[in-house]
Structure 1
Amino acid sequence: MRGAEFASLKAFFAVAQERNFSRAAQSLGVSPSALSQTIKALEEGLGVRLLNRTTRSVSTTAAGGRLFDRLEVIFSDLDGALEELNQYRDTPTGKLRISAPQVAMLHFIQPILPAFQLAYPNIELELTTDDSTADIVAQGYDAAIRLGEFIEQDMIALKLSEPLTQVAVASPKYLKQRGIPETPIELLQHSCVNWRRSGEAGLYKWRFLNGDTPFELSVKGSLVVSDCAVALQSAIDGLGITVWIREWIKAELGSGKLVPLLEQWSTPFPSFYLYYPSNKQMSSALQAFITALRSPC
């Protein structure tokens, strides 16, 4: 196989995997138009249509799906063969793509970045902040961090935190103006800062406990954000009540910037996990990253 043919197959595989020319082109470092021409030339050379294209979507034909399945095995074996060479290097190398929601990015990944980059300069680390629960295999990620309740069954998951606590909070300024809610139902009379998870139409429902019985509440307010940090800062600025993980706002609670509310109703928050596909060989780069995450700072 000539180099050009191999490159064309890699290009097809990227498009079929991403189901999007723009994302595939970005991952390959080429323009969408150049990638489109490559795929067109491949199909003409093979005499078979591999992809169905519309203005909104890309999918494989029957022939394209068959080729994709074969290439997935071949490229996986090739990646494994190249990864085995890492044992002969002094330090791991390669590209590592990690996805995580913003709170996990801030509290788990950001603190280890300086030491990790210094220790492993040959690892190209690509971090994507994503609060959705997208399929990491389809998105081409090596691993991701999510709450345990959102992890698929066919994944290997490593716990990063003990169960946390979600608590409602507001600033002293807001509470002085609007009063302190004594029960969750009283939140419906308050201005609450709502959060919408990326890729979802509905707003996040606040969780509480009535004794041992959990329940959810759809609160109201004039401010809706997709960034959890904005929701927290908005509460500090006196714009309303929001919910946050108690263990991660000790400074704000200790300084009095925020006041915890409805503590007897507060509910446990699931643990965070790093997870990766069980059918994929763990690279030395991912091994190094996991070790860094699980080591005390």
Structure 2
Amino acid sequence: MRGNEYADLRAFVTIVEQGSFTRAAKHLRVAPSTLSQTIRELEERLGVRLLNRTTRSISLTDAGAHLLARFKPAMEEMEAAVVAVRSFRDTPAGTVRLHLPRLASATFLEPVLGLFREAYPDIVLDMTIDDAVIDIVKSGFDAGIRLGEFLESNMVAITLGGSVRQVAVASPDYLAQHGRPTTPSDLLKHRCINWRQPGTNGFYNWEFEKDGQDVAVAVDGPLVVSHRDVAITAAVQGVGIAFWEEEQVRPLIEVGKLVPVLEDWSPRFPGWHLCYPRQRYTPATVRALADFLRSSRGQQSPSDAH
């Protein structure tokens, strides 16, 4: 190969993997028009069309399918070889793109950002803080932090904490005025603070379980938020009942600003994990982040997500 041929072929593979020029351009951090020109020039040099493309979709031609089948494994082997060589560095260097929810950021990363910088001064930690549940690999991230129930298949998962649970809470004044729910269905008679998870259109159904009975309640009320810390602030002010992770509301419970309800309907479930793709050579930067978080939490070694 000469000149930029490898980069052009890699761009071709990325377009196929991402399923569109727009997503591939974002992944490669180039303009869609630049990427389109790259593929046109590659096809001109090869003398064959590789992709059939319309305004809404792309598909491989026979020549494109043949090229993908032969080149992609070779590309992956070359990139794995480069990663393996970089792992010999005494100090890992490079960028780790990490996707994590707001709560996970506040709990696991923000308190130790200074320590991580001291331990790995040549690593750039690129954190996208977002409560949406996305496909980590397809979205171009190196790793993510997820609750156990959202772990993706074929991922390495490292436990960052113990089990967690969500509890419904309200202010003492609210309960004095409106009464205390004793079953999840009672919530339908109360003012509740809804949460819309980013990336979704509907509201989150409050989930409960007791004696093997699972209940999901579509609550209603005067306030909808996309950040649940706002819901807790509103609950303290008597706006309604909120539903959030127990450790986050415990300080307010301890000082009497909030009161938990339906605790016997609030089971524990698998907590937070750092996860990253299972691959032949894990980048040294990702291994460094995993080792750092595991040691800082005193948790177990990596395991399969599924």
Cα contact 1:112–1:293 (8 A) shared by 2: no
Cα contact 1:196–1:225 (8 A) shared by 2: yes
Identity of aligned residues (%): 46
Map 1:161-172 → 2, pairs under 5 A: 161-172=161-172
Cα contact 2:158–2:294 (8 A) shared by 1: no
Map 1:130-209 → 2, pairs under 5 A: 130-209=130-209
Cα contact 1:182–1:262 (8 A) shared by 2: yes
* Aligned amino acid, residue 234 of structure 2: S
- The answer for unaligned runs of 5 or more in structure 1 is none
* Aligned amino acid, residue 78 of structure 1: M
Identify the residue that residue 221 of structure 1 maps to in structure 2: 221
Residue 286 (structure 1) shift: 0.9
Secondary structure (helix, strand or coil) at the match of 1:168 reads strand
* Aligned amino acid, residue 154 of structure 1: N
What is the CA–CA distance in structure 1 between the aligned matches of 2:50 and 2:231, rounded to whole Å? 45
What is the CA–CA distance in structure 2 between the aligned matches of 1:213 and 1:171, rounded to whole Å? 28
Identify the residue that residue 265 of structure 1 maps to in structure 2: 265
- Residues 1:109 and 1:206: Cα distance change in structure 2 (over 3 Å): same
Identify the residue that residue 302 of structure 2 maps to in structure 1: none
Identify the residue that residue 117 of structure 1 maps to in structure 2: 117
Cα contact 1:112–1:292 (8 A) shared by 2: no
What is the CA–CA distance in structure 2 between the aligned matches of 1:114 and 1:175, rounded to whole Å? 42
Residue 61 (structure 1) shift: 4.6
- Residues 1:230 and 1:66: Cα distance change in structure 2 (over 3 Å): farther
- The answer for unaligned runs of 5 or more in structure 2 is 298-306
What is the CA–CA distance in structure 2 between the aligned matches of 1:232 and 1:49, rounded to whole Å? 57
Cα contact 1:102–1:228 (8 A) shared by 2: no
Identify the residue that residue 231 of structure 1 maps to in structure 2: 231
Cα contact 1:214–1:267 (8 A) shared by 2: no
Identify the residue that residue 247 of structure 1 maps to in structure 2: 247
* Aligned amino acid, residue 108 of structure 1: F
Secondary structure (helix, strand or coil) at the match of 2:138 reads helix
* Aligned amino acid, residue 161 of structure 1: G
Residue 131 (structure 1) shift: 3.3
Secondary structure (helix, strand or coil) at the match of 1:267 reads coil
Identify the residue that residue 96 of structure 1 maps to in structure 2: 96
Residue 57 (structure 1) shift: 4.4
CA deviations on 1:19-64 (whole Å, 9 max, x unpaired) are 3434433443332222221122222222333334444445545544
What is the CA–CA distance in structure 2 between the aligned matches of 1:129 and 1:56, rounded to whole Å? 30
RMSD after superposition? 2.6
- Residues 1:231 and 1:27: Cα distance change in structure 2 (over 3 Å): same
Cα contact 2:208–2:216 (8 A) shared by 1: yes
Corresponding residue pairs, total: 297
What is the CA–CA distance in structure 2 between the aligned matches of 1:64 and 1:247, rounded to whole Å? 53
